[in-house]
Amino acid sequence: MSRRHGLGHRIDSMLYDPDGVGDGVGVGPHPHPWPDGPQYDPELLANGDTRNVVDRYRYWRNEAIVADLDRRRHPFYVAVENWRHDLNIGSVVRTANAFLAAEVQIVGKRRWNRRGAMVTDRYQHLRYHPTVGDLVAWAESESLPIIGIDILPGSLPIERVELPERCVLAFGQEGPGLSAEMRAAVEMICSITQFGSTRSINAAVAAGIAMHRWICQHAVLPEEPPKRRIS
The Cα–Cα gap between 159 and 191 comes to 9
Each residue of 151-200: pLDDT tens digit?
Answer: 999 999 999 999 999 999 999 998 899 999 999 999 999 999 999 999 99
Residue 2 β-bridge partners:
12
- Distances in Å between the alpha carbon of 15 and those of 25, 32, 118, 187? 9, 18, 17, 49
Percent of the residues in the chain that have a pLDDT greater than 70, as a whole number: 87
Cβ atoms of 86 and 174 within 8 Å: the answer is: yes
Band of residue 118 on the pLDDT scale cut at 50, 70, 90 = very high
In this prediction, residues 209-221 reach a mean pLDDT of 97
The Cα–Cα gap between 51 and 21 comes to 7
Q: Which of 96, 190, 202 is nearest to 147 (CA)?
A: 190
Q: Which class is domain 73-218? A: alpha beta
Residue 24's pLDDT is 56
Rounded to 10 deg, the angle between the 89-98 and 203-218 helix axes is 20
- For CATH 3.40.1280.10, list the domain ranges present in the chain: 73-218
Each residue of 18-39: pLDDT tens digit?
Answer: 555 445 578 999 999 999 999 9
Residue 174's pLDDT is 85
The answer to whether residue 105 scores a pLDDT higher than 80 is yes
Total-model pTM: 0.86
